[in-house]
Chain A
Amino acid sequence: MAAVLESLLREEVSVAAVVRWIARSTQGSKDNPGEAAALSSLRPLRKEFVPFLLNFLREQSSRVLPQGPPTPAKASGASAALPGRPGGPPRGSRGARSQLFPPTEALSTAAESPVARRGGRRRVPGPARERGGRSLEEGVSVESLPGAGSRRLRGSGSPSRPSLTLSDPPNLSNLEEFPPVGSVPPGPTGTKPSRRINPTPVSEERSLSKPKTCFTSPPISCVPSSQPSALDTRPWGLGLPPGCRSLQEEREMLRKERSKQLQQSPTPTCPTPELGSPLLNWTGGLTDELADPARVSSRQRLELVALVYSSCIAENLVPNLFLELFFVFQLLTARRMVTAKDNDFELSPGALDSLESPLFQSIHDCVFFAVQVLECHFQVLSNLDKGTLKLLAENERLLCFSPALQGRLRAAYEGSVAKVSLVMPPSAQAVSFQPETDNRANFSSDRAFHTFKKQRDVFYEVLREWEDHHEEAGWDFEKGLGSRIRAMMGQLSAACSHSHFVRLFQKQLLQMCQSPGGAGGTVLGEAPDVLSMLGADKLGRLWRLQERLVTPQSSGGPCPPPTFPGCQGFFRDFILSASSFQFNQHLMDSLSLKIRELNGLTLPQHEPSDEDGESDVDWQGERRQFAVVLLSLRLLAKFLGFVAFLPYRGPEPPPTGELQDSILALRSQVPPVLDVRTLLQRGLQARRAVLTVPWLVEFLSFADHVVPLLDYYQGIFTLLLRLHRSLVLSQENERKMCFLNKLLLLAVLGWLFQIPTVPEDLFFLEEGPSDAFEMDIVAPEHGLDSMPVVDQQLLYTCCPYIGELRKLLALWVSGSSGRSGGFVRKITPTTTTTSSLGAQPPQTSQGLQAQLAQAFFHNQPPSLRRTVEFVAERIGSNCVKHIKATLVADLVRQVESLLQEQLVTQGEEGGDPAQLLEILYSRLCPHGAQALALGREFCQRKSPGAVRALLPEETPAAVLSSAENIAVGLATEKACAWLSANITALIRREVKAAVSRTLRAQGPEPAARGERRGCSRACEHHAPLPSHLISEIKDVLSLAVGPRDSDEGVSPEHLEQLVCQLGQTLQCRQVRGGICHLRAAFLCPCVRPDNQSHAGSGPILAAVIMVMPMVSIFPPQFLCPPAEQHLAKCSVELASFLVADQIPILGPPAQHRLERGQARRLLHMLLSLWKEHFQGPVPLQLLLSPRNVGLLADTRPREWDLLLFLLRELVEKGLMGRMEIEACLGSLHQAQWPRDFAEELATLSNLLLAEPHLPEPQLRACELVQSNRGTVLAQS
């Protein structure tokens, strides 16, 4: 490989030829046969060139790049590798940054083909099956190579490699030598220093099995910060088994290799690392070296390499575009220690054209190289977000080295509107209860219904608890919530309950996690739209502040492993804790279904012809819709991948050898949970890669190690690789993909290729883009790919790691980092729910009319069709609802009245309910036939208006009327199809419900129900509340009963007032809110305000009918029946106490009793209340209960006149019959009384009964009033 590079440097071959040679295997250079010949001899190495180049650059830069934040754990690994090294030999402790090539390989024949070099393993033909020989490299890399600058690629055992280490500037990246203290290590991979690293065990047998480290990222098992410990311990986490048998062996090999290097480069050319202060601080201890274009050491060589490198990037020959950009940015922002004295290299003459001397000899070289590369990728840069552009344009080094590029960047910055904020307002709310899917009718049994009711509450309880605690140290999901979750899942017995719960789970997932805002910060908080009502100014500041607070400092490097940030963690942990097979299965079913649905969604098609002003407005909406769909898909696919591959992921190493073969054989028989390959193929064919690929990548990122070996998935990877190679950004073509769409795909694919489970050889062993790939895309005229559906916001949302570039630049200007905090974009919360996206195409019959309709739409703008279909769908659905609310509701009312009749004629029981129902069905169901006619009429009436309202006014009349007719037809078709299939069942159901309702409502006192009266006209509705009255009367009663203090009592006025108030309360039966007037108007057609034609009254009728179900038969009033009952009873008790003169009266000390006249007046008032105003029964017989009559027994002298008066009045007013009183008095005799009392009672009884039938009541009353107390009985 080095030969290629060297011949390039010697200008034997042109850069273009080299790139052609790499990219297109088959065709040599036609222009220069010499070049072709030179290169063709190296053909077997062609595939290894790019990895070599990348490694070469990393290797070279390692000498000047302190940026790659090393992991402290490397120290332990390194020292462990060299046991007994007390002070650390200066060379041996350099860490593995320069260990680009595994010693095993170095020791083997370098020229051997990659496959041959794979440690004697079974060779599998085909791409990227094995990755032998990487074991050691990985074992070291896990510990020591985190930064982008330390990328190592297997596969190019260059013979010249050892010479690369000849000159050896201080390795500032070696933390053992230069441990950073007190500051976050710069660079995106700033991982927590406490990161654990277990040396990866090495085994020749396990080339495929070990968890691969991302080139640039911490291994998945060491993901810092937000990832809960579950990652390490859970079955799917790729935790490395601690300790391993072959570790010693590995260390031994490492030691050998190092000693070999020591021999080759005995003396470092640079100062020894000892000068590094242990208190070195990146910002404090380092000073930026001024980069000077004049001091670049070998321009020509750098230019050449930069050109080759840029071309490889441009041709997508590197796996990850943004990783390379990150690397270049690192070079651009490289800092050096001033104390380092390695600025001037002694260059041997002639070294310039070879690889013998270091490529980057100074910071000037690095910056020069970086700027050279950046110049080639201006287009990508100009599409980055505004913040990055600003930082880049303000970078003084860039200005210094390429004022032209700086000028272009500044212009791009000024023209850019691509402000990106990763803080989106959280939109979390609970999934709302929808009667259509959630009420009793959707469950198999009451039990299932109530169980689910409880489960919903438990689910949210768990969610709230998680919110409160998950950020607390020491809180553990499983410990805190596991058992509760499992108990809840255990209750889900019925299969249908599972599907209900999964629906809830999935909806909640989408609601909470769709936006990246769901990835952090508050979740169940304020709804965003409230805030937006309250002043945008404060809001803006709030968001800005929030962004600063919640935007994570690092998302884990430019290639972070797949994670579940923020709320997603809850759902992942929930799945893990639930560990329910049924739940997982239902969840997979549901996720797959939803993914299919969303992936197949007809997203609004942009019309290229529509180039007027409206398109702007449309585009915002369409982009937003696309973003919502894409983000939902990614989220769903991520969880689908997680659950689907969950059983195959475990902490134990993946199998190898024969075991692996048998597993492969087995797994290849298992059908995929979702046929993603077909979906991908279709997506590519339909030119919808921009929608399909991003979610597919999320799905695949959770695949286990075996997956990439399965034929099915290999096919997918091949397609993805070809797609990746075909997405050349510089190829601008009208019919091809939009730039940002490409960029998104490149970013997500690049990320996928760095996922540990994806074999890296896959990328480099794959042949170049086959022409067949280009061919088999029979692209439709305007696929989604060619529409500008992706904007920077979406790009950064899907690939937050691109933001690492900005962070790198911001770090460069740290100290004035305030500058980077300014970009904030308010994001209008998207309220579109995914379920309502797009109209489902209505079912069309295959008739001629349908064909005509199709033809009609063909030449019309697609928006017309969308409108018509939408209207038809809505009107059809409304039609059904309308029929339910009118026809069916009418029938139900008929049922109610029929039922009343039935009940009246048959007595209370009303006969056998089942029989009753059948009678009703037979009478009512025939009316269902009207539904179709009514439905047709409804669609006919409603559809045209809607279509007209939605289409542009300028639509030609003929087009308009055709559209209207089609809409009417489609709506009618839809409505009638539903009605004819369901109307009878619907009527039966509603009638049944009405019957049971009516029967239930048939209370114990049916007679009383019909007679409720409203207030009189004069009533002002200021009567006291019933509760107050009961309470007041209760107080009087308790005073009467005692015990009481001597100063307690009531005034006669108070008593009178109380009775008055009772009257008011009973009389004020205000119908609350006046809805009843409407009802009354409806029920009496004569008073209907407009007495026009029947058709004209339709809407009013409909409106009233709509209101009807909302109004219960007797609208609520303050006085509810139980209160009235108690009032009645209390009033009777009060009367008894009045009769017995037991109420303590306030007043002059001597007079503690009520005057007879007053008592009589009060009784009179009570009597009239009983007679007139109580609507329920009054328990008047209580007046003659032994207890109340007994009250009289205690008084001396006994006074019977009031009782007699009361009884007579009762009879007179018809409140009690003589017989009834007689019976009561009769039963009184059974009680034990004092002898004299019994005698008096008997006299009273006789007196009352002996009276003639009320000749002159008034007179009699007068007479009684005048008679002396206690003498009545004597007289008679």
Chain B
Amino acid sequence: MILTKAQYDEIAQCLVSVPPTRQSLRKLKQRFPSQSQATLLSIFSQEYQKHIKRTHAKHHTSEAIESYYQRYLNGVAKNGAAPVLLDLANEVDYAPSLMARLILERFLQEHEETPPSKSVINSMLRDPSQIPDGVLANQVYQCIVNDCCYGPLVDCIKHAIGHEHEVMLRDMLLEKNLSFLDEDQLRAKGYDKTPDFILQVPVVMLCPLAVEGHIIHWIESKASFGDECSHHAYLHDQFWSYWNRFGPGLVIYWYGFIQELDCNRERGILLKACFPTNIVTLCHSVA
């Protein structure tokens, strides 16, 4: 789960220009049988998102949109049942869900008097039955269920995973009898930055094979793989802010992280891939 930078790079290398489909994932699992599925999916998803961020703009020029739309129209004119939109997305190396959105927008522009609002588009993507054109509805639906990195379903899965891990972490804390304040309670108290949990009594996490321990005031749960890009963004937006307010803390990347990123231990940000077992709590002397 905790990968060295080299291991990570090896995986990332295999992900260049791989479409985000079921099939790709299956191949990836075969290629790296020792890694957990969830970790691979998380890495894949993040790498793919990076790729999309880089190339996003070129798919959004009006020329590109027009050309995609024409190709779509031609394709469905030939055979409405064929996976026209999905193939198109894969061919031009763009996420199927995003391609679906692009074409849907373009379609609505043509067929509605007023340009479609974002919420209408979102709602149609969530439930393609609302799309006035049956063929397009099917095409869009096909894109969405086949896309493993983008789309409303994937968003929901990611959200659910995040939520579930927070709940799991909460259970573990309760099991360890560690009292804490959660995000909602912190927000109610008017904290300006809110990690998932603040321990009301700090603990020390001992690290195996090392003499030192680390004081933990807060814990943040991340149901993803900690790669450089996301970790740096998190450091800047969250972890340092937590440190600035509450002192040293723990980040759990449930799907693992790049070992080399765990370099701020001394400064008060400890990375783990699971809930640490070796915890020292404050001992109350029995008087």
A→B interface (CB under 8 Å): 429-430, 432-433, 435, 438-441, 449-450, 452-453, 456-457, 459-461, 464, 522, 524-527, 529-531, 533-535, 538, 997, 1025-1027, 1030-1031, 1034-1035, 1037-1039, 1041-1043, 1045, 1072-1074, 1109-1110, 1112, 1116-1118, 1120, 1122-1123, 1126, 1129-1130, 1179, 1182, 1185-1188, 1190, 1194, 1231-1232
Contacts and interface: CB of A to CB of B under 8 A. Distances in A.
Interface stretch (B4-12, B49-57, B137-145): B137-145
Contacts of B17: none
B185 interface: yes
B212 interface: yes
25 contacts: A429-B268, A430-B243, A439-B191, A456-B245, A460-B240, A524-B268, A529-B215, A530-B204, A533-B280, A1030-B153, A1030-B160, A1034-B145, A1042-B142, A1072-B174, A1073-B171, A1073-B174, A1112-B184, A1116-B167, A1118-B163, A1120-B160, A1122-B160, A1123-B159, A1182-B129, A1187-B134, A1231-B134
4 smallest beta-carbon distances between A and B, as pairs: A439-B190, A1185-B129, A433-B245, A1027-B160
A861 to B, nearest CB: 24
B129 A1188 contact: yes
B213 A530 contact: yes
Interface string B47-83: 0000000000000000000000000000000000101
Contact of B137 (A429, A464, A1122, A1187): A1187
Contacts of B185: 1109-1110
A1187 B153 contact: no
B86 interface: yes
Given A435-B191, A1187-B128, A1190-B134, A457 B241 contact: yes
Contacts of A464: 240, 267
Given A1109-B185, A1120-B163, A432 B246 contact: yes
Given A456-B245, A1038-B22, A1187-B138, A1043 B156 contact: no
Given A435-B189, A1110-B185, 11 more contacts: A453-B192, A459-B244, A527-B247, A530-B204, A535-B211, A1026-B164, A1116-B166, A1120-B160, A1182-B129, A1185-B129, A1186-B129
Contact of B129 (A522, A526, A1031, A1187): A1187
B189 A439 contact: yes
Contacts of A1025: 160-161, 164
A1030 to B, nearest CB: 5
A900 B97 CA distance: 42
B211 A1026 contact: no
A1034 B157 contact: yes
Given A438-B192, A530-B213, A1117 B83 contact: no
B135 to A, nearest CB: 10
B23 interface: yes
Nearest to B22: A1038
A449 B127 CA distance: 40
A1031 B127 CA distance: 17
A1034 B148 CA distance: 9
A1124 B190 CA distance: 30
Interface residues of B, number: 57
Interface string B157-193: 1111101101100110010000001001100111111
B146 interface: yes
Interface of B: 22-23, 81, 83, 86, 127-129, 134, 137-138, 141-142, 145-146, 152-153, 156-161, 163-164, 166-167, 170-171, 174, 181, 184-185, 188-193, 204, 211-215, 240-241, 243-248, 266-268, 280
A1038 B145 contact: yes
Contacts of A438: 190, 192
A1116 B160 CA distance: 12
Contacts of A433: 191-193, 245-246
A1072 B180 CA distance: 14
B240 A457 contact: yes
Nearest to B87: A1043
Contact of A460 (B188, B213, B243): B243
Contacts of A1190: 134, 138
Contacts of B158: 1027
A710 B23 CA distance: 85
Nearest to A1185: B129
Given A432-B245, A1072-B170, A1186 B156 contact: no
B245 A1126 contact: no
B145 A441 contact: no
Nearest to A468: B267
Residues of B contacting A: mostly: helix
A50 B135 CA distance: 107
A440 B189 CA distance: 9
Given A1116-B170, A1187-B137, A430 B245 contact: yes
B244 A1072 contact: no
Interface centre among B192, B245, B248 (most CB of A within 10 A): B192
Nearest to B152: A1126
A460 B193 CA distance: 14
B127 A1182 contact: yes
A456 B244 contact: yes
A529 B202 CA distance: 12
A1232 B164 CA distance: 44
A1014 to B, nearest CB: 15
A1249 B243 CA distance: 66
B204 to A, nearest CB: 6
Contact of A1034 (B153, B213, B245, B267): B153
Given A432-B246, A435-B191, A1126 B156 contact: yes
Contacts of A529: 215
A1037 B157 CA distance: 15
Given A440-B190, A1030-B156, A1123-B159, A1041 B145 contact: yes
A1126 B152 CA distance: 9
Q: Which residue, of A1074, A1110, A1194, has the highest number of chain B Cβ atoms within 10 A? A: A1110
Contacts of B171: 1072-1073
Given A1110-B181, A1116-B170, A1122-B159, A530 B214 contact: yes
Contacts of A1120: 159-160, 163
A441 B192 CA distance: 11
A1043 B86 contact: yes
Nearest to A453: B192
B174 A429 contact: no
A1038 B248 contact: no
Contacts of A1185: 129
A781 B200 CA distance: 45
A1015 to B, nearest CB: 14
A1123 B153 CA distance: 9
Contact of B22 (A453, A1035, A1182): A1035
Contact of B167 (A997, A1117, A1122): A1117
Contact of B141 (A459, A530, A1123, A1187): A1187
A538 B156 CA distance: 51
A429 B247 contact: yes
A1035 B147 CA distance: 10
Given A432-B247, A1035-B22, A1123 B156 contact: yes
A1122 B156 contact: yes
B266 A527 contact: no
B180 to A, nearest CB: 9
A533 B204 contact: yes
Most chain-A Cβ atoms within 10 A of its Cβ — which of B128, B170, B188, B245? B245
A1000 to B, nearest CB: 12
Contacts of B181: 1110
Contacts of B243: 430, 460
A947 B2 CA distance: 55
A998 B240 CA distance: 33
- Looking at B146, B170, B243, the one whose CB has the most chain A CB atoms below 10 A away is B146
Nearest to B206: A534
